Amino acid sequence: MSYQSEYNASIDTPENFWAEQANQLPWYTPPKNILSKDENGMDRWFADGVMNTCYMAVDHHVNSGRGEQNAIIFDSPVSDTKYTLTFAQLQDKVATFAGALAAKGVGKGDRVVIYMPMIPEAVIAMLAVARLGAIHSVVFGGFAPNELAVRIDDATPKVIVTASCGIEISKIISYKPLVDAAIEQASHKPDSVIVFQREQVTAEMHAPRDIDWNDAVANASPAEPVPVNGTDPLYILYTSGTTGTPKGVVRDNGGHAAALFYSMKAIYNVEAGDVYWAASDVGWVVGHSYIVYGPLLKGCTTVVYEGKPVRTPDAGGFWRMCEEYKISTLFAAPTAFRAIKKEDPDGKLIEQYDLSALNNIFMAGERLDPPTYDWTVEKTGKPVIDHWWQTETGWAICGNLLGVEAKAPKPGSATLPTPGFKVEVLDDDGNVLPANTQGSIAIKLPLPPSCLPSIWGNFERFKESYLTEFPGYYCSGDGGYIDEDGYVFIMGRTDDVINIAGHRLSTGEMEEVVAAHPAVAECSVIGVKDELKGQLPVGLVILKDGVEIDEATLFADLKASMVKQIGPIACFKEALIVNRLPKTRSGKILRKILRQIADGQSYTVPSTIDDPASLDEISSVMKEKSLI
């Protein structure tokens, strides 16, 4: 099959194409209604199919003879722990934990928030929630209590599942006090908190709300998978938007299972039984799709790694893992490889390991810059595949379909649109732009399976965020161009989202934190280029009249507030005191120009600008600080 015929089939006869993919999964009742409209007028996949994602990802493999194959490899250099779980053992643990959740009143459609480090219990908790037909919302452990509280209030969970601690290299981070603080701050109160006690820290428990994981499972009877419809939600995953309030991306069960199952062969070219490792975190979409659901749906062995690409103990950690577990596919963010490159520029550590089982290295989460691409190809000798995706889609929008027809890569490009995605580049008026012309990247509706049908509890925000700017299209928020061969180049966000070390964060949210400082009259937060982490946030601040504070003190205050309000992953880099910010005559800050200045791009001074000289001032302040 050629890429072109596969792609054309997905666009010309989408219902046939996706019915064929869906039919490879073990539904209780296979869908007949392949593509339909919901009450909001959104396209939905497999509405009448009856299934359970946990059954498809776990029980089905036990039933079909894979019970003794490893489902999970756990490797934690930070706690010096390694073990494996077979599909049969995983089934047992998931069914029992589902029973424990059911005993706490969790049923179909209820929400469960999961705030866990990278340990197998995080995966078990997710699958157990799915088993009950309930909806999980995993919150990344690097987010502060305030962020967790916002998500608790939006998702209104019956239960929160957490662990006593996470381990960040050698730093032990107690999670339970963070969860307690978040619950204290939130208006919604969960009925129960289930805590997995790790040996490094024993969490303080508040009876009767808090329950030890081990006690909960000791008294539980295993729960059977609960049948759900294809369009019932599997999870909510909050992601940064342009405002301070994160968006609860909703993922349905049926489309998600079909798209991920398809992707494992078509994109990653893996088979059941292969060892597949996405070196991410279950708190991000890559973790949801390719640590948990994708590999398990396919019957692969997945890897849960509690460590970093460097310093656990060195920059050879990834290669040690690849050798030890015969990993066939490695997937991580470019930042991880930049970190490795920085510490092992000549690839000496790579040479120490046997990478013969490793077929391909995939990267996503941020732009893969050509120097990182070239270094990884040269030092590992492996094909490196860039692919572009978002929390909203749950799988790659563009990639190189190794399982269909591998195309020659072009560094800097995520290759070609994935089947189902009609990718176009539009100008500000929504006109399709010719090849090699930069604009907004949009996807023509209908979106293929797995893409979000709404934002949790807020369809209007969904419409406004994604569907209004270019009618008939989903607006991705990314800019870029398509070349004469159809290769897609993603150049960066066109909105107030920035990408720090592969972590998606909102400058709008950071502005709220900066603006709350008593000395600050006005501010703007922009992402500046960083060699390791891709982008880092810098605050441009106008002080209130009469206030005296030096830049260093202001920065220290703001950095502390960022850690407290957002979390350590905000990585606030610098606060610059300026006299003015570029604004329109109606007082709106011209963020696009600030972004262009930070990216070193040329810009046109808009006629609506109130004070053009502010642009020169900002540029020279940033140059002075070597930020551009």
Q: At residue 600, what is the residue type?
A: G
- For position 254 contacting ligand AMP by CB under 6 A, the verdict is no
Instruction: Decide if 30 contacts 24 (C-beta within 8 A).
Output: no
Of 364 and 441, nearer to ligand COA (C-beta) is: 364
Q: How far is CA 565 from CA 150, 169, 407, 509, 549, in A?
A: 11, 23, 44, 10, 22
Min dist CB 221 to ligand COA, Å, is 33
Helix (H, G, I), strand (E, B) or coil at 31: coil
Specify the DSSP class assigned to residue 272. T
- CB 363 to ligand COA: min, Å: 9
Q: Does 386 engage in binding with ligand AMP (CB under 6 A)?
A: yes
Q: Applying CB under 6 A, does 490 fall inside the site for ligand AMP?
A: yes
What residues have CB less than 8 Å from 208, skipping those under 6 apart? none
Residue 450 is a binding residue for ligand AMP (CB under 6 A): no
- Whole-number Å distance between alpha carbons of 507 and 526: 6
Of positions 368, 385, 451, 520, contacts ligand AMP by CB under 6 A = 368
Q: What is the token pair recorded at 598? A: 């930070």
Q: Which does 142 bind (CB under 5 to 8 A by kind): ligand AMP, ligand COA, none?
A: ligand COA
Residue 477 found at the interface with ligand AMP (CB under 6 A)? yes
User: Which residue do the tokens 């946030």 mark?
Assistant: 537
Minimal distance, residue 423 CB to ligand COA, in Å? 21
Q: Which two tokens stand for residue 56?
A: 């498809």
387 binds ligand AMP (CB under 6 A): yes
Q: Does residue number 488 form part of the binding site for ligand AMP (CB under 6 A)? A: no
- Site for ligand AMP contains 507 (CB under 6 A): no
Q: Report if residue 493 touches ligand AMP, rule: CB under 6 A.
A: yes
239 binds ligand AMP (CB under 6 A): yes
**Closer residue to ligand AMP in complex, CB, 217/490:** 490
Residue that is written with structure tokens 């643990």 in the block: 93
Length of the chain: 628
Q: Could you tell me the smallest distance in angstroms from the CB atom of residue 271 to ligand AMP? A: 24
Contact between 386 and 414 (Cβ < 8 Å) = yes
Distances (CA, A) of 241 to 33, 476, 479, 530, 581: 33, 11, 16, 21, 22
Q: Are 306 and 78 in contact (CB under 8 A)?
A: yes
Q: Is residue 365 part of the contact set for ligand AMP (CB under 6 A)?
A: yes
Q: Return the one option of ligand AMP, ligand COA, none that residue 455 interacts with (CB less than 5 to 8 A, by type).
A: none
How does DSSP classify residue 198?
Answer: B
Say how far apart CA 294 and CA 286 lie, in whole Å.
10
Interface map 261-300 toward ligand AMP (x if CB under 6 A): -----------------------xx---------------
Peptide bond connecting 313 to the previous residue in cis, omega within 30 degrees of 0: yes
Give the phi and the psi of residue 464 in degrees, each rounded to 5: -65, -40
Whole-number minimum distance, CB 330 to ligand AMP, in Å?
A: 15
What residues make contact with ligand COA under the rule CB under 6 A? 141-142, 166, 168, 173, 280, 284, 286, 308-310, 332-333, 335-336, 339, 365, 501-503, 568-569, 571
Q: Which of 478, 496, 509, 511 binds ligand AMP (CB under 6 A)?
A: 478
Give the binding site for ligand AMP (CB under 6 A).
239, 284-285, 364-368, 386-391, 414, 477-478, 490, 493, 499, 504
